[in-house]
Homo-oligomer: A and B are copies of this chain.
Amino acid sequence: MDSHLAARTPPPLSPRKRPRQARAVVTVDAIFEATLQVLLAEGMRHLTTTRVAERAGVSVGTMYQYFPNKQALVYALNERSLETLADRIEATCRACHAAPVNRMVEALIETYWRAKTERPEVTRALYRSVAEMDNTALIESFAQRVDAATTEMLASATDATFTDLHIVNLTLVTVIFGTVRNAFERGVSDAVSHALKQQLLEMCLAYMQAAMA
């Protein structure tokens, strides 16, 4: 399935060279920022290499020194964004180490929800941008980091042990992430969004209660 993504001469998605000089780092950052800007202002449909370079204040040629093609650029942008998100989740997990389960669940929901909501257009633009790419590796890598962090957190809970920690953890994470995204896509109002978050929390708490050994 999805064979077409790879079938037609898999385009190299990894960056061409890492910026070595300070100047180059600045350039790459500018390119990332510009990509996001164009994505927000024009949509994936109108994200052209020319436009990105223009907005970044560099020449197309420069862009191509760092990214072998357009896809790689978008890919890298998403990678970066997911890494940031994973960082935040890991931080949350660390902060909740050896806390009661309820606090953990609440913190997790809160963190993820906020991360996705604080700049909704960005979230949406990124969601859209990877849609037609093989982002399996990205998701995979993100999922692994998150799973590791949350699993460890849950295992450290002071007030509970889970016979099936793994599946409970997976369920929790999948439900939370999926619900947020779906709420997002339905474009619910802030009020409803808030209520929904509350209900999600209650649902997860009820589940955890039931799942405790």
Do residues B199 and A186 form an inter-chain contact, with CB atoms below 8 A?
no
Interface membership of A167, Cβ < 8 A:
yes
Contact B206 A41, beta carbon cutoff 8 Å: no
B206 touches A1 (CB 8 A): no
A1, B132: Cβ atoms closer than 8 Å? no
Give Cα A70–Cα B6 distance, bound, in whole angstroms: 24
Interface contact A175-B175, CB-CB below 8 Å: yes
Name the interface residues of A29-48: CB closer than 8 Å to any CB of B: 40-46
Query: Is A57 an interface position by the 8 A CB rule?
Result: no
- A210 and B202 contact, Cβ closer than 8 Å, known pairs A131-B44, A195-B167: yes
Taken together, the copies of this chain in the complex come to 4
Cβ of A160 within 8 Å of any chain B Cβ, yes or no, is: no
Interface bits A1-18 vs B (CB < 8 Å: 1, else 0): 110110011000000000
Q: How many residues of A contact B (CB 8 A)?
A: 54
Task: Decide if A192 is an interface residue (CB 8 Å cutoff).
Answer: yes
Residues of B within 8 A of A42 (CB): 4, 8
Q: Is the CB of B199 within 8 A of A171?
A: yes
Q: Are A8 and B178 in contact (CB under 8 A)?
A: no
A44 to B132, Cβ gap below 8 A? yes
Cβ contact of A1, chosen from B120, B179, B181, cutoff 8 A:
B120
